[in-house]
Structure 1
């Protein structure tokens, strides 16, 4: 598979997951959260098993998209802040264990074994959820969304930058997304009420968060890619070298503060200035340790603001928007930075700092991610949020 095809393994799942979070929130209200939760955990296990039998890139990408679809349904006081911090700590823990276990499975058997391992884990979780899964009330609501077509078309266009249909995909994606915004303003029961964006600090927090999230997952993807392709690390050795992210993420969930944008920018700068053959410990290791500080601190601040400062009537929809848009922007980020990678890979420099350096396409993506987070850094002074979770 080409680099752009490989990015769809991740991008397809986060696209469908982010696009259907709001939809499934409404469906769960209609039919009950318990049945939706358990059914989708079981379906995830089924499709993870099926993904392991893939024999071509398109099948692999499509099945990962289906797995993201079923993921979409599994969904203020100091005590509440602690609860959200513990919940957020699941991100680095899941990252750490999935990388290690998937690396071991791949090393021993093959790439398909990682998906079969996921199937086994989720089948066990399904059985446990049948006995201990959440129970909730039913409510009747209506929902609809156009995000899959819009973001999917836009991202596909970016990945096929030199093909004739690229303009069609990009324009179509923008038009569909504009139609989604128009629909949400007109529909009496919108899954994303536009009035939520009238809260100044919520809008600023989301802009800062998204500028980081559009860059963070692509950065980790390309770091893992160059560790394998340029540094020659195995499927098991690569996750071991990515462990600084998990350790730093767990620590950061305990001491999180509004330091996300500077941490992002510093981390991306570190990986951008290195070249082939430079020390892992001098550049990649500190970058991986610092970048998670950016992700987890911004996530915790945004979640706490939603719970502590917004009216109770807006908290559920704000939380859903928060989850949906961050996932969707991961797809956009993969599309944008994959286009940058391919462009530089096809037109490498012959003079300058990266002349005749195979690391140059990776560096180009990292410089672009740094620009995004630097812009978010400029927005931070305009925030007026204060200490949260006093009760």
Structure 2
């Protein structure tokens, strides 16, 4: 696969398209890109356990604490598509490095924040940096590693570390807060960024689209505004419910702006999002699978955290151990998922993974008040996470397969937007049913039943959708099924 490189950095060393061996330089490039993705995934969860301590230290009310999460989620999700396209047009490496530098500076600001305003400013800037890092990092990965086994392996490692980062964040957040205080959680992120930042310029090749079409400003404004409004509404609803005026207005405004965005893109000469790309079955159905696996797994983790601590009275440390097992098995899954993809193909792997995740989540309906439920919860969520990891890797491969290098930023922007939106929407849509129930255990069972049902239905829809072919369309074969 051809890559447009500039003389400002070393180009990618050509390799046979079916090569599975990575050179030393490839491994270093992969380390830099995966470390950055891991850092962003860590940021999603590392602060959760620390929120009560943080609020007491900075004088933030319980109702204001949601902004510690929302301030990061808004820019990180809202600007993904825009920054993915900007990287395509003006240089992915350049934007990746800028985002990394911004994330590092923002993490330092959040670490040493002296009041709520300075802390929330740091979180918002972290989110803006993450919005630049994630799509450009994924684009650099998919344009550096040729489509086939090499890319399968690289995306497998990246997907494993992203999944592990979220889990490690939950465990590390509690430990760091207890031992060193809440500021250490932000300091950990600053440390990650400052380790990666000096390595990246010498290792990463520059890449961009060969031509330089103008940026679709109307599309950028409407999609960014729409995503910001929807993410704000859903994040706020997670804590305050859907009855608030600002939540309803946010949802309405977001949906209206996204509708206008579709109209704008259909008429633009240089659209931010290519509607023909969205009509690719691999893109549409692959992203549906990604949206469901992320949103439903984040919901399971949320309700299980409540269940283990509120129903079974486990400490935060023991709860962290449960999810620690989940993280270990995610690493195991990441090591063999590329082999499964090579045997089954990305599309079949996605369907099997969704079905496995749904079935194992359904097993959590057996949770009760006895001590044995800890073992059931640990086993079911850990095994479900292995299938979840398989879905993460295979949906990314499905969506990006057959996409030209010039549009990789757009494709990976869609992939990462799906991840961010999935993590954001699951808890507000389903998790609130558990917290609002008079009987928490009954509420947990309700959420688990709906969660499992949605994943299993999605598995069927994705299987049918990816099997069908549009008349006259040429679709890329599943990666690895050669």
Q: TM-score range by the shorter chain?
A: 0.7 to 0.9
The residue aligned with 1:363 is 445
Quote the offset at 1:170 in angstroms. Answer: 2.8
Q: 1:78 to 1:252 in 2, by over 3 A?
A: same
Pick aligned residue for 1:167 from 245, 248, 256: 248
Q: 1:109 aligned to 2:180?
A: yes
Partners of 1:323 and 1:359 in 2: CA distance: 33
Quote the offset at 1:252 in angstroms. Answer: 1.8
The residue aligned with 1:211 is 292
Q: Deviations over 1:173-208 (max 9, x none)?
A: 321222222222233322221111222243222223
Pick aligned residue for 1:373 from 451, 455, 462: 455
The residue aligned with 2:308 is 227
Quote the offset at 1:31 in angstroms. Answer: 4.3
SS for the counterpart of 2:79 is: helix
Aligned length: 380
Q: 1:66 to 1:230 in 2, by over 3 A?
A: farther
Q: Which has the higher contact order (CA 8 A, sep 6+)?
A: 1
Pick aligned residue for 2:226 from 127, 130, 147: 147
Quote the offset at 1:287 in angstroms. Answer: 2.2
SS for the counterpart of 2:132 is: coil
On the 8 A contact 1:78/1:390 being kept in 2, the answer is no
Q: 1:81 aligned to 2:152?
A: yes
Partners of 1:331 and 1:241 in 2: CA distance: 23
Pick aligned residue for 2:423 from 321, 330, 345: 330
The residue aligned with 1:340 is 433
The residue aligned with 1:23 is 82
- The alignment's TM-score, normalised by the length of structure 1, stands at 0.83
Shifted more, 204-213 versus 62-71: the winner is: 62-71
Quote the offset at 1:125 in angstroms. Answer: 2.0
SS for the counterpart of 2:467 is: coil
Q: 1:132 to 1:199 in 2, by over 3 A?
A: closer
Partners of 2:369 and 2:248 in 1: CA distance: 35
Partners of 1:310 and 1:287 in 2: CA distance: 36
Q: 1:384 aligned to 2:475?
A: no
Pick aligned residue for 2:320 from 209, 230, 239: 239
Partners of 1:186 and 1:278 in 2: CA distance: 60
Partners of 1:303 and 1:283 in 2: CA distance: 30
Q: 1:41 to 1:312 in 2, by over 3 A?
A: closer
On the 8 A contact 2:233/2:248 being kept in 1, the answer is no
On the 8 A contact 1:80/1:389 being kept in 2, the answer is no
On the 8 A contact 1:161/1:339 being kept in 2, the answer is no
Quote the offset at 1:242 in angstroms. Answer: 0.5
Pick aligned residue for 1:135 from 193, 206, 227: 206
Q: 1:282 to 1:137 in 2, by over 3 A?
A: closer
Partners of 2:428 and 2:118 in 1: CA distance: 19
- The alignment's TM-score, normalised by the length of structure 2, stands at 0.69
Pick aligned residue for 2:382 from 275, 289, 312: 289
SS for the counterpart of 2:215 is: coil
SS for the counterpart of 1:211 is: helix
Shifted more, 176-185 versus 272-281: the winner is: 272-281
On the 8 A contact 2:434/2:440 being kept in 1, the answer is no
On the 8 A contact 2:84/2:409 being kept in 1, the answer is no
The residue aligned with 2:55 is none
Partners of 2:70 and 2:449 in 1: CA distance: 21
On the 8 A contact 1:38/1:133 being kept in 2, the answer is no
Q: Deviations over 1:91-128 (max 9, x none)?
A: 24434544444333112022232112211221222233
SS for the counterpart of 1:222 is: helix
Partners of 2:173 and 2:302 in 1: CA distance: 15
Partners of 1:3 and 1:325 in 2: CA distance: 29
Q: Deviations over 1:143-177 (max 9, x none)?
A: 41333333135415634323345433332232122
Partners of 1:248 and 1:83 in 2: CA distance: 19
Q: Which runs of 5+ in 2 are unaligned?
A: 1-51, 53-60, 138-146, 338-348, 469-476
Q: Deviations over 1:69-108 (max 9, x none)?
A: 2112112322322222222222244345444443331120
SS for the counterpart of 1:388 is: coil
On the 8 A contact 2:101/2:193 being kept in 1, the answer is yes
Q: Deviations over 1:210-229 (max 9, x none)?
A: 22222112222332344344
Q: 1:176 aligned to 2:235?
A: no
Partners of 2:456 and 2:404 in 1: CA distance: 31
